[in-house]
A = this chain, B = another copy of it.
Amino acid sequence: MSRPKIRLHVEHPLSAGQTVDLSRDQANYLFAVMRLGPGDGVALFNGRDGEWRASVAQAGKRAGVLSVETQTAPQQDPPDLWLLFAPIKKARTDFIVEKATELGAARIMPVQTEFTNAERIRRDRLQAHAVEAAEQCGGTYVPPVDDLARLSDVLADWPADRQLVFADEALVGAKRALSDAAPDVTKWAILVGPEGGFSEAERARLRALPFVTPVSLGPRVLRADTAAVAALTLWQSERGDWR
């Protein structure tokens, strides 16, 4: 029994013998686009119960039923890492959500900074991107995407036991300090700014906060989306589950 090539995220609980009713979009994708038929295999995950092999029990144009068979991978949650980022142009914002999902962020938080142009985001669209990224990369976890919030409000309500890694452009060229910072802390977050960087007031506030660890991302100036991927990579390799 070969591993199914198609992975599908569903909301339904998953266990042996369950049946899963497909939405119209899912049925269209599986049967019209991917041309599956009765008996064909699909890998399912719901973000909680690991990955399961299911097979097509009923296939229709607008509906269908899958039958859940056996678990093929355990649930694997990422480390307790949030990504805070300032929404930028549409394609690059989509990209940040996709990469954050692949690289194992546990929660994605769009924040409005002083230099952020975006007044609103399509939260549902970004969440769908996270789902699609998890389907593609073989993950069993989908990070929730929050609504847009003001950075100043997020910082005012910040939980005292969580460290915030701040990719500080003013530190370009300085040594980074992530491996030595806050050795006992297990709850973390990463903040990357918008294309224009942070304002002087934001930078001063961030650097004065006791839970903030500024880091440098090398001697070249990085675009916001590159900074997000680089910071996630560094954190995972030094503090996360790449060790």
- Interface check A116, CB cutoff 8 A: no
- Chain A contributes a number of interface residues (CB within 8 A of B) equal to 32
| Bound-complex Cα distance A239 to B225 (A) | 23
Binding site for B on A (CB under 8 A): 76, 95, 98-99, 102-104, 136-139, 175-176, 216-223, 226, 229-230, 233-234, 236-237, 240-243
| Bound-complex Cα distance A217 to B233 (A) | 9
CB of A196, distance to nearest CB on chain B (Å): 11
On chain B, the residues within 8 Å of A243 by CB distance are: 175
Contact status of A226 and B176, CB under 8 A, knowing A76-B219, A104-B218, A217-B242:
no
On chain B, the residues within 8 Å of A176 by CB distance are: 237, 242
Q: Oligomeric state, in number of copies?
A: 2
CB of A26, distance to nearest CB on chain B (Å): 22
Contact status of A102 and B242, CB under 8 A, knowing A229-B233, A233-B234, A237-B176:
no
| Bound-complex Cα distance A138 to B219 (A) | 10
On chain B, the residues within 8 Å of A223 by CB distance are: 98, 102, 136-137
Is there an interface contact between B242 and A139, defined as CB atoms closer than 8 Å? no
On chain B, the residues within 8 Å of A222 by CB distance are: 102-103, 137
What are 22 A-B pairs at a CB distance below 8 A? A99-B229, A102-B221, A102-B226, A103-B220, A103-B226, A103-B230, A104-B218, A104-B219, A136-B223, A137-B220, A137-B222, A137-B223, A138-B221, A139-B220, A176-B242, A216-B242, A218-B237, A218-B242, A219-B241, A229-B230, A229-B233, A233-B234
On chain B, the residues within 8 Å of A226 by CB distance are: 99, 102-103, 229
